[in-house]
């Protein structure tokens, strides 16, 4: 199966070049995709142009070539819906003065075959709850107004309105829809300076979100939490959203909130998304009644972890200690694996990940596409080692760590695997 190059002109029209075979990016190299790395464009995906990047493909002589016609030919890409993992990034040539300035979006390589657009992706989880059709519905503004009228002074609902409408955040919207996983932003400080942070700039790019600017009252947090857990279908409340820092640094405050929420709402899941770089904070929150913890991790190799996360006052050993503490309290533990083609699938990275999950009681790996300009990443991470492919990474994990649940989303605690 051969895929042909797709590109966009200045009018935003998607065109194919049947004379050029598709190329995708893995690590610092261009490669032709294996059919196993491609799938028909998922429903809910968006087709976009990669800013200031010229489209390329492989000519009949096996050599990379710029798409050339009478118009500009820009690199076309897909933005995947949640639940799909990118296997290749787009291949293209950046205009020199734009290098390193791509927005923090998950640009995914696309190609054309037999009259259909294909994306370099695999489905990592069941798509029903997070399908885009379930969000940004016509009745969302009315639902937001109802909450704001019912809780006029609650700063968290005001923040969630902004997140739901300006950022189109699904976990914010779920609060207003009264269903599934809903975010409760509470914390604006962090003890890491991650390269791909979406609410605090560490690499000089335009951020998609602005970090929380206030400290909510205990009654505000408890009010949102109880409302959601007592009325939402498959209710989950999560601390640690994209507009926040790390909630584990706010453990003293949040442990009090968790106790009060759990006393008033016996059902539902209380989850924290964190870097897990403060083990004592993890202990406080777990002792208060935390059910689930999702730990973001770029690499299980110390030097690469440090280059990406830039931790302040903690290291990977403390992350491992947090995992052990959380499991002692019966928490469901997921690694939020920040996945990037050509890096996460390197043999050294896979072996380090397997070692970590064998030594530490991890229940799940959630694949999360790392949205970052590739040139920004490769400036800091050595690119000499090639990857074996994201599909092969998944196959290795299924074979070597069959106890792990693989997916994308935080499940309600007690949900059958």
Cα–Cα distance measured from residue 160 to residue 173, given in angstroms and rounded to the nearest whole number: 8
pLDDT on residue 128: 80
Cα–Cα distance measured from residue 19 to residue 40, given in angstroms and rounded to the nearest whole number: 21
For the segment 380-409, the average pLDDT, to the nearest whole number, is 96
Q: Is the pLDDT score of 416 beyond 70? A: no
Model confidence at 207, pLDDT cuts 50, 70, 90, reads confident
Instruction: State pLDDT tens for residues 160-169.
Output: 999 999 999 9
Q: What is the mean pLDDT of the chain?
A: 94
Instruction: State pLDDT tens for residues 255-302.
Output: 999 999 999 999 999 999 999 999 999 999 999 999 999 999 999 999
For the segment 217-223, the average pLDDT, to the nearest whole number, is 97
Q: What angle do CA 151, 155, 158 make, to 5 degrees?
A: 80
Cα–Cα distance measured from residue 41 to residue 342, given in angstroms and rounded to the nearest whole number: 21
Q: Is the pLDDT score of 366 beyond 90? A: yes
What are the Cα distances from residue 70, in Å, to 10, 13, 67, 73, 237? 11, 14, 10, 9, 53
Q: Which pair of structure tokens corresponds to residue 358?
A: 């064998």
How many CB atoms are located within 10 Å of the residue 116 CB?
10
Whether residue 366 contacts residue 407, with contact meaning beta carbons closer than 8 Å, is answered with yes
Q: Is the pLDDT score of 415 beyond 60? A: no
For the segment 348-363, the average pLDDT, to the nearest whole number, is 98
pLDDT on residue 144: 98
Instruction: State pLDDT tens for residues 118-151.
Output: 999 999 998 788 889 999 999 999 999 999 999 9
Model pTM score: 0.95
Q: Check residue 174 and give left, alpha or beta (phi > 0: left; psi -120 to 50: alpha).
A: alpha
Model confidence at 98, pLDDT cuts 50, 70, 90, reads low
Cα–Cα distance measured from residue 23 to residue 295, given in angstroms and rounded to the nearest whole number: 33
Task: Report the percentage of the chain scoring pLDDT > 90.
Answer: 87
pLDDT on residue 395: 98
Q: What angle do CA 289, 292, 293 make, to 5 degrees?
A: 115
Cα–Cα distance measured from residue 297 to residue 256, given in angstroms and rounded to the nearest whole number: 27
Whether residue 96 contacts residue 76, with contact meaning beta carbons closer than 8 Å, is answered with no
Instruction: Give residue for tokens 């009018």.
Output: 11
Whether residue 230 contacts residue 407, with contact meaning beta carbons closer than 8 Å, is answered with no
Whether residue 292 contacts residue 323, with contact meaning beta carbons closer than 8 Å, is answered with no
Domains of the chain: 4-123 (no CATH), 132-407 (3.20.20.70)
Whether residue 35 contacts residue 350, with contact meaning beta carbons closer than 8 Å, is answered with no
Q: Is the pLDDT score of 180 beyond 80? A: yes
Cα–Cα distance measured from residue 320 to residue 308, given in angstroms and rounded to the nearest whole number: 17
For the segment 330-350, the average pLDDT, to the nearest whole number, is 98
Q: Which pair of structure tokens corresponds to residue 397?
A: 């994990």
Instruction: State pLDDT tens for residues 295-307.
Output: 999 999 999 999 9
pLDDT on residue 391: 98
pLDDT on residue 9: 92
Q: Is the pLDDT score of 173 beyond 80? A: yes
**What 3-state DSSP class applies to 405?**
strand
pLDDT on residue 99: 63
Cα–Cα distance measured from residue 390 to residue 121, given in angstroms and rounded to the nearest whole number: 9
pLDDT on residue 117: 98
Instruction: State pLDDT tens for residues 397-412.
Output: 999 999 999 999 999 9
Q: Which pair of structure tokens corresponds to residue 210?
A: 């602005």
- Length of the chain, in residues: 417
pLDDT on residue 70: 63
């Amino acid at each position: 199966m051969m895929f042909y190059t797709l590109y966009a002109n200045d009018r935003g029209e998607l065109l194919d070049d049947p004379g050029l075979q598709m190329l995708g990016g893995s690590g610092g190299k261009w490669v032709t995709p294996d059919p196993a790395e491609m799938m028909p464009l998922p429903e809910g995906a968006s087709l976009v142009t990669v800013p200031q990047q010229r489209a390329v493909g492989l000519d009949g002589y096996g050599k990379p070539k710029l798409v050339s016609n009478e118009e500009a030919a820009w690199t076309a890409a897909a933005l995947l819906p949640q639940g799909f993992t990118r296997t290749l990034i787009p291949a293209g040539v950046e205009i020199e003065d734009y290098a390193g300035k791509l927005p923090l979006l998950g640009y995914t390589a696309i190609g054309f075959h037999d009259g259909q657009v294909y994306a370099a992706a695999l489905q990592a989880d069941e798509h029903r709850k997070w399908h885009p059709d379930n969000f940004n519905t016509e009745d969302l503004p009315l639902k937001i107004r109802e909450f704001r009228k019912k809780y006029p002074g609650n700063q968290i609902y005001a923040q969630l309105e902004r997140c739901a409408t300006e950022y189109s955040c699904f976990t914010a919207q779920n609060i207003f829809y009264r269903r599934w996983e809903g975010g409760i932003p509470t914390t604006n400080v962090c003890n890491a300076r991650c390269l791909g942070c979406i609410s605090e700039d560490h690499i000089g790019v335009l951020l998609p979100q602005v970090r929380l600017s206030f400290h909510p009252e205990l009654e505000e947090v408890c009010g949102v939490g109880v409302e959601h857990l007592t009325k939402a279908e498959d209710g989950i409340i999560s601390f640690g959203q994209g507009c926040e820092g790390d909630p584990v640094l706010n453990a003293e405050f949040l442990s009090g909130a968790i106790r009060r929420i759990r006393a008033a709402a016996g059902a539902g899941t209380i989850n924290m998304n964190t870097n897990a770089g403060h083990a004592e904070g993890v202990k406080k929150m777990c002792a208060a009644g935390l059910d689930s913890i999702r730990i973001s991790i770029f690499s299980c190799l110390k030097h690469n972890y440090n280059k990406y996360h830039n931790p302040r006052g903690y290291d990977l050993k403390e992350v491992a200690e947090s995992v052990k503490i959380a499991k002692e309290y019966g928490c469901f533990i997921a690694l939020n694996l920040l996945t990037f083609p050509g890096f996460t699938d390197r043999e050294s990275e896979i072996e380090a990940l397997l070692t970590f999950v064998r030594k530490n009681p991890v229940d799940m790996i959630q694949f999360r596409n790392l949205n970052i300009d590739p040139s920004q990443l490769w400036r800091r991470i050595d690119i000499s080692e090639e990857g074996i492919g994201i599909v092969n990474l998944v196959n290795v994990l299924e074979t070597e760590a069959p106890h792990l649940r693989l997916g994308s989303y935080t499940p309600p605690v007690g949900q059958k695997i």
